[in-house]
Amino acid sequence: MPKSSKQQIDIDEKKVISEIQKNSKEGIGALAKKCGSSRQKIWRIIKRLEENKTIWGYSAIIDDNKIGSQRYFILIKRTSKPFSKEHIDSIIEGMIEQEITKMEITVENVSYTHGDFDWIHIIHSSNILHVKKYCEILINLSKDYISDIKILEDLFPVKQNFIFNPHITNLKDLFFHSGK
């Protein structure tokens, strides 16, 4: 099989993506070694993946407790009313981001989903009152489109972004000492 076949390119890209997901700070040399390829090849693959937006960002996984923050999941069920063009435009333009700029809220992830809930927002805050205010803003911006909203607090992230929590043994404390 030729080195540049579409199938081989896909295999190589998947190897690189898998390794970058485990540690995006890994150097090109270490990635090349783990993928069994040259540094130049890995560099070209990463550049191509960035240019075609397969990779559209890098981030760090933070221990929220160490920075005085907490992670929350906001589950939103929408009404059956079809979205207006204006409402979709406000989502695309990041209207919620503009509304919360002065709040102590960091938005990690917003996803449109299929299932019992239609949207999931993952946010970080040091204060549940800010989270509730965030939900109020969502409701005010989308009052015709939201039928239910739930707030879940992340008590212990076992695995995030393909990486196990380095404090995984602390999970025992939640189960064996939480009621005492």
Q: Find the CATH number of the domain harbouring 38.
A: 1.10.10
In this structure, are 44 and 79 located in the same domain? Answer: no
Give yes or no for a contact between 100 and 137, defined as CB atoms under 8 angstroms apart.
yes
Q: 56 in a domain, yes or no? A: no
Kindly state whether residues 99 and 121 are assigned to the same domain. Answer: yes
Which of 81, 73, 60 lies closest to 111, judged by CA?
73
CA nearest to 80, candidates 135, 144, 128: 144
**Domains: count for the chain:** 2
Question: Which has the closest alpha carbon to 18: 41, 49, 39?
Answer: 49
Q: Are residues 25 and 74 in the same domain?
A: no
Decide if 147 is inside a domain.
yes
Residues 34 and 72 in one domain: no
24-28, 37-41, 71-75, 175-179, range with the lowest pLDDT: 175-179
17, pLDDT greater than 80 = yes
Query: pLDDT for 100-131, tens place per residue?
Result: 888 889 999 999 999 999 999 999 999 999 99
pLDDT above 70 as % of the chain? 96
Same domain, 129 and 155: yes
Assessment of whether the complete model's pTM goes beyond 0.85: no
- Please tell me whether residues 101 and 142 are part of one structural domain: yes
pLDDT score, position 1: 47
* Domain, as residue range, for 155: 64-159
Contacts (Cβ under 8 Å, ≥6 apart) of 138 = 74, 76, 96, 121, 146, 149
